[in-house]
Structure 1
Amino acid sequence: MTSSDTRVDLNADLGEGYGVWRLGDDHAMLEVVTSANIACGFHAGDPTSLRGTCAAAVSAGVAIGAQVSYPDRVGFGRRFLDIAPGDLTADVIYQIGALDGIARSVGGAVSYVKPHGALYNSIASHRSQAQAVVDAVVALNRDLPLYGLPGSVSARLAEAAGLATVAEAFADRAYRPDGSLVPRSEPGSVITDTATICARALRMVVDHEVVADDGTVVAVAPSTLCLHGDTPGAVEHARAVAATLREEGVTVARVT
């Protein structure tokens, strides 16, 4: 049994449909997670569906995060775009502001920022783009924490700017020995076995480590775990992870 003060947030990417096209089961995920990374329209999400997702999150008591991304609907935000820093800063401000307006219309508000897809991965090491994202949050609302990989360039720059950061780990993604995620283009990058996901989640939260794709044990100390809403069996994975953590004495609760 773990210490009674062990706690973790569970987050998922939601609101990623568009028009009549739907991806994942947002309402089912909102019954499990404590934070919702809601799309902001640049990689997915239309105003009507995003308003509905925000309303459902408010009703469930789930924190709303701005899932900012590159302007890349065709690639679902998973392609790197070499955007000038000033343009990227403006893009991120635009997205956070838009989602916050939608959230406020249903009684909520954006309480953190989590970049999506290729933007998330690029700012882990790409200094100028990481600085552009940090500059956007600083310009708009210094009280918004930034979710990201621990030790990443974006986390270091955010902390230097006086922003709060939330260390994140991924129970359903494979890791490299340096603590980065295995690119989705590579085999085995996404883990779909429920038992494996649960075991990895528990090890991350309790033992603060994860086994990389080469067998190396990598140190992690997450305050939040991401469970992707578009992973096959996402809802079942999320329910199983939450149950496993609680059975081991871990408190599952939102950070923001």
Structure 2
Amino acid sequence: MTENAGKRGGSERGDARMRVDLNSDMGEGFGRWPLGDDGALLSIVSSANIACGFHAGDPSVMLSTLTMAARRGVSVGAHVSYRDLAGFGRRFMDVASDDLTADVAYQLSAIRGMARIAGTSVGYVKPHGALYNRIAADPVQAEAVVNALVRVDPGMALVTLPGSVVGDIAAKAGIRVIREAFADRAYTPQGALVSRRVPGAVITDVDQVAARVSRMVREGVVTADDGGDISIQADSVCVHGDSPGAVAMARAIRDRLVADGIDIVPFVDVASGGDRV
């Protein structure tokens, strides 16, 4: 075990069992074009990141996904992005700070209103795709996103990579920061996600993914793309809902974690979420 072992989830409170949140991106269909099996995923995960219409989703899809999540008792978050339907939010964009703040605030306001109709509430924000990766290192864009969160509701948490720039900025603004790991994505030795343009960036072997997630949670390490182990802190683990075999992968991860004595709970119940400063 590494020195990070025992710092996962409920173990910080001295609980006998570890805990971790399992999240997935949902509500990413558009009109008559479905994407992913949200109904099946909602029976497996503990948190749902729901698209807000800028990279995917539309009002009808958003409302139906929120309603399903509410009925299943799954925690919901706003999956905000650049305004990029054609590129599924995975293209980097040069957006002025004021415009980005307004775009994120607009998305948050829309999903919060829909959530009230569906009988639930939005507990966190998880940026999507290119925006997620950009604000992990870009302080200007990160500040714009945090400004939107603070103005709409500073009580919402922010989900991001451990050690990210946006995480530092959010924590200084009094926002709870949730450290996220990715089940099916390769990591660089520096702890960043390997670009999707690189072969092997997305891991598709179900058993391999389940084993590496269990190790992330139990030992606080993951094997990087150079073959070496790196430290990783995970309050929540993401399974991409649009990946081939996403449901089977999510179920295998859940089964493996439970078999290893790890409880799957919404991260609002996991004590190791980032501190306010």
TM range (shorter): over 0.9
The CA distance in 2 between the partners of 1:124 and 1:48, in whole Å, is: 31
Does the alignment pair 1:213 with 2:216?
Answer: no
In the other structure, the counterpart of 1:161 is: 173
Partner of residue 48 from structure 1, selected from 54, 60, 83: 60
Partner of residue 123 from structure 1, selected from 135, 144, 154: 135
Partner of residue 17 from structure 2, selected from 2, 5, 29: 5
The CA distance in 1 between the partners of 2:143 and 2:212, in whole Å, is: 31
In the other structure, the counterpart of 1:79 is: 91
Query: Which letter does structure 2 place at the counterpart of 1:209?
Result: V
Unaligned runs of 5+ in 1: none
Three-state SS of the structure 1 residue aligned to 2:89 is coil
How many angstroms does 1:70 deviate by? Answer: 0.2
Does the alignment pair 1:229 with 2:241?
Answer: yes
Three-state SS of the structure 2 residue aligned to 1:168 is strand
Q: Within 5 Å, give how 1:26-41 maps onto structure 2.
A: 26-41=38-53
Which string of whole-angstrom CA distances, capped at 9 and with x for unpartnered residues, describes residues 183-213 of structure 1? 1111101000001100110010000011110
Which string of whole-angstrom CA distances, capped at 9 and with x for unpartnered residues, describes residues 74-110 of structure 1? 0000000100111101111100110111111010111
How many angstroms does 1:49 deviate by? Answer: 1.2
In the other structure, the counterpart of 1:105 is: 117
Three-state SS of the structure 1 residue aligned to 2:156 is coil
Q: Percent identity?
A: 53
How many angstroms does 1:29 deviate by? Answer: 0.2
TM-score by length of 2: 0.91
Query: Which letter does structure 2 place at the counterpart of 1:123?
Result: I
Query: Which letter does structure 2 place at the counterpart of 1:96?
Result: L
The CA distance in 2 between the partners of 1:133 and 1:180, in whole Å, is: 20
In the other structure, the counterpart of 1:191 is: 203
Partner of residue 64 from structure 1, selected from 64, 68, 76: 76
Unaligned runs of 5+ in 2: 1-5, 269-277
The CA distance in 2 between the partners of 1:16 and 1:185, in whole Å, is: 21
Number of equivalences: 255
The CA distance in 2 between the partners of 1:174 and 1:231, in whole Å, is: 14
The CA distance in 2 between the partners of 1:130 and 1:148, in whole Å, is: 11
How many angstroms does 1:231 deviate by? Answer: 1.1
Kindly report structure 1 stretches of 4+ aligned residues shifted beyond 6 Å: none
Does the alignment pair 1:177 with 2:189?
Answer: yes
The CA distance in 2 between the partners of 1:221 and 1:111, in whole Å, is: 21
The CA distance in 2 between the partners of 1:156 and 1:5, in whole Å, is: 29
Three-state SS of the structure 1 residue aligned to 2:60 is helix
The CA distance in 2 between the partners of 1:163 and 1:178, in whole Å, is: 25
In the other structure, the counterpart of 1:140 is: 152
Query: Which letter does structure 2 place at the counterpart of 1:138?
Result: V
CA RMSD of aligned residues (A): 0.9
The CA distance in 1 between the partners of 2:68 and 2:31, in whole Å, is: 17
The CA distance in 1 between the partners of 2:87 and 2:71, in whole Å, is: 31
The CA distance in 2 between the partners of 1:126 and 1:221, in whole Å, is: 21
In the other structure, the counterpart of 1:16 is: 28
The CA distance in 2 between the partners of 1:23 and 1:30, in whole Å, is: 14
How many angstroms does 1:218 deviate by? Answer: 1.1
Three-state SS of the structure 1 residue aligned to 2:198 is coil
How many angstroms does 1:216 deviate by? Answer: 2.1
Three-state SS of the structure 1 residue aligned to 2:45 is coil
In the other structure, the counterpart of 1:203 is: 215
Three-state SS of the structure 2 residue aligned to 1:19 is coil
In the other structure, the counterpart of 2:3 is: none
